[in-house]
Amino acid sequence: MKHLQPKETLEFLRDHPDAVFVDVRSEWEYLFVGHPKGALLVPWVDGPKWERNPEFVDHVKRATSVDRPIVLICRSGNRSRDAGQALEEAGFSQVYNVEHGFEGELDEEHHRGTKTGWRFEGLPWEQC
């Protein structure tokens, strides 16, 4: 798995129109916190019990093929890294993880979005 910074990710997606951009956060996060424009929602972990989605790999396989680049994003880069490992184990050959994710790491006051991340960088995003 390769790791990209948020701005590198946007450039990568522009240079690779065949890439599939997957947001692995929960449906709630995707809808109410916001998400990168063009990202497809396939939760890695979701409510109500916050368990791993047993159909994650199958859902990604339905959205694309194992030979296309898959770019994964979550809140901070941790869930997407775990999801990427599962995809690689399932035979996906071009998996990319967005470092710092959509909201970035925690600051000294335990807030996100103040230091790093997709939104912090001012990259295209939307909220439903």
Residue 31 neighbours by CB distance under 10 Å: 13
pTM of the model: 0.95
Residue linked to tokens 């995809």:
87
Interval 29-50: pLDDT, tens: 999 999 999 999 999 999 888 9
Spell out the alpha helix ranges (H) of the chain. Answer: 6-15, 27-28, 56-63, 78-89
Range from 11-20, 47-56, 73-82, 90-99 carrying the lowest mean pLDDT: 47-56
89-125 in b/e burial notation, b at 16+ Cβ within 10 A? eeebebbbbbbbbbbbbeeeeeebbeebbbbbeebeb
In a domain, 70, yes or no: no
Determine the structural domain holding residue 81 and report its residue range. 2-63+75-123
What's residue 128's pLDDT? Answer: 82
Q: How many domains does the chain have?
A: 1
Q: Is residue 42 domain-resident? A: yes
**CA atoms within a 13 Å half-sphere pointing along the CA-CB vector of 61:** 11
- Output the domain CATH number for residue 39: 3.40.250.10
User: Does residue 25 sit within a domain?
Assistant: yes
